[in-house]
Amino acid sequence: PFMLRVPGLQTKSQPKSAFSLLNLSPTLLDALQIEVPTDFLGKSCWARMKEGIGWDEPAIIECVSGCTNPFWPQQRTGPRILGVRDSRYKLILHFDESRELMFDLEVDPRELSPLPVDADRPIRRRLLDHARAHLAAKQNESARLRARIRDIRLECAKPVA
């Protein structure tokens, strides 16, 4: 869950909308009234949060399969896993195995029993479309360059033994 306490803001009940970490920086910057860079992949949810209004956009979860420490360069490469989650469903794409799993989180909150591939096809399609749009946005060359520069900075910041 994403919880944010802002002094002086009246407490409102928040909907159970999925919140993507891609939206964290834009939302915090917006709350601080700092301009959000246009090249951020996420967008601010601040206005809706202040009003207690939900949103329908699914959250993106992305990681490297088997990565336990992203600060180790050897663990930052490898097969990717991409998750797309809305308030009820979660679709997980395992790129190394070319498989997808979808869970109904209301019925199976521990994600123990994936739904059959032919179940809830319109929902699966919507989540897949969102995953495709996210992957297409990531193909932007400047985003890849910025990520590599970030990796180099992390490697340079390591203490010399």
d(CA 84, CA 58): 6
- Alpha carbon distance 81, 101 (integer Å): 11
pLDDT digit of tens for each residue in the chain (161 aa)?
566 676 777 766 767 778 888 888 998 899 889 999 887 878 898 888 887 788 878 988 888 888 888 788 888 778 889 999 998 999 999 988 888 999 999 999 999 999 998 889 999 999 999 999 888 877 665 566 677 677 777 666 666 65
Residues 104 and 120 sit within 8 Å (Cβ to Cβ): yes
pTM, two decimals, is 0.69
